[in-house]
Amino acid sequence: MSLLGRELSDIRRRLHDRKMSIGSVLKIGIQSTTAIRDLHKIGFIHRDIKPSNFAMGRDQKANIVFMFDFGLARQIMLPDKDGKMKLREARKKVAFRGTVRYCSLNVHLYREQGRHDDLWSMFYMLIELLSSTLPWKGMARKDSAHVKQTVSDRILLAGCPDCFGDINNHLKSLTYLDTPNYAMFQTKFTKELNKLKIKPSGPFEWNEKGILKQETSAIAENEKDVKVEIDKTGDTDTGRVVDESVESEESVGETETTNLAGENTLEIFNTNKK
């Protein structure tokens, strides 16, 4: 069991106008990119990157962002006979896994998720933390997919730092086979902080100004994450409660689940096999 502070989703809702400062979002971007990169390095993708799966540390670690809840993680890289990590072959059609609000368009299209899809989710998360909303927030799955596919960069990135445009373009260029340029993300975020004369290692606004009262939440490893996010605080752009977290084929029509590939999230090795 690990003791952490508040989740990023909770912190955002408690701040003025329900949004974080550019400095805080950029610092979260640096740390979350590092966490996602390190997970990818050991051969796994998260598949459910969102604000409620990141939390701040406590006490001396109050300015460290922690990623958790690996219940939907999948092993996408395996060692070959020489011990070198090799990407698993992408399945042709897979079930929906993740949270509708933050998942990439690939997930809506039943495509195999790769490393870039985790970063798409992080990108959407950062936009929401900064602006308090997303163009498709509160929409059902089908409508959300349509907006993600058609929304203009001007609308999506309204109020975001210039570096978000570069990151958006990089993400659009990636496929399942590509290794994302994690260093580019971190460099862009850091340069933007430098322009604002903000130290990447400095305290977050809620710690520096004492905006939030320090509270802790125990996050148990065996805790089942609730996949239906209900914004009880009443976001003005959410007019109704929508299940934004359909995570399997069970709630999808039969025609959509035809020929879905099996879900082997963790490859099992036979050590006796020669």
| Residue 189 CB burial class (10 angstroms; 0-12, 13-18, ≥19) | buried
Range of the domain at 45: 2-224+246-257
pLDDT on residue 208: 81
**251 lies in some domain:** yes
Q: Are strands 85-87 and 77-79 parallel, antiparallel or unpaired?
A: antiparallel
Residue 231 placed within a domain = no
Answer whether residue 262 shows pLDDT above 50.
yes
271: in domain: no
Query: What radius of gyration do the chain's Cα atoms show?
Result: 19
Q: Which of 10, 17, 38, 48 is catalytic?
A: 48
Model confidence at 246, pLDDT cuts 50, 70, 90, reads very low
Report the share of the chain in percent with pLDDT over 90.
72
pTM comes to 0.82
Q: How high is the pLDDT of residue 209?
A: 72
- Give the C-alpha separation, 259 to 159, whole Å: 42
**Residues 32-43: tens digit of each pLDDT:** 999 999 999 999
User: Does residue 235 sit within a domain?
Assistant: no
**CA distance linking residue 271 with residue 254, whole number of Å:** 38
Classify residue 263: in a domain, yes or no: no
Mean pLDDT in residue range 88-92: 96
pLDDT for the residue numbered 237: 36
**Residue whose token pair is 């934004």:** 244
Q: Which of these, 96, 122, 184, lies nearest to 106 by C-alpha position?
A: 96
Query: Where residue 23 sits, what CATH number does that domain have?
Result: 1.10.510.10
pLDDT digits over 153-164, tens only?
999 999 999 999
Shortest CA distance to 116 belongs to which of 179, 71, 63, 167? 179
178 counts as catalytic: no
The predicted structure's pLDDT at residue 221: 36
| Confidence tier at 211 by pLDDT (50, 70, 90) | confident
Give the pairing type, strands 2-4 and 217-219.
Answer: antiparallel
Q: How many domains does the structure of the chain reveal? A: 1
pLDDT over 70 percentage in the chain? 76
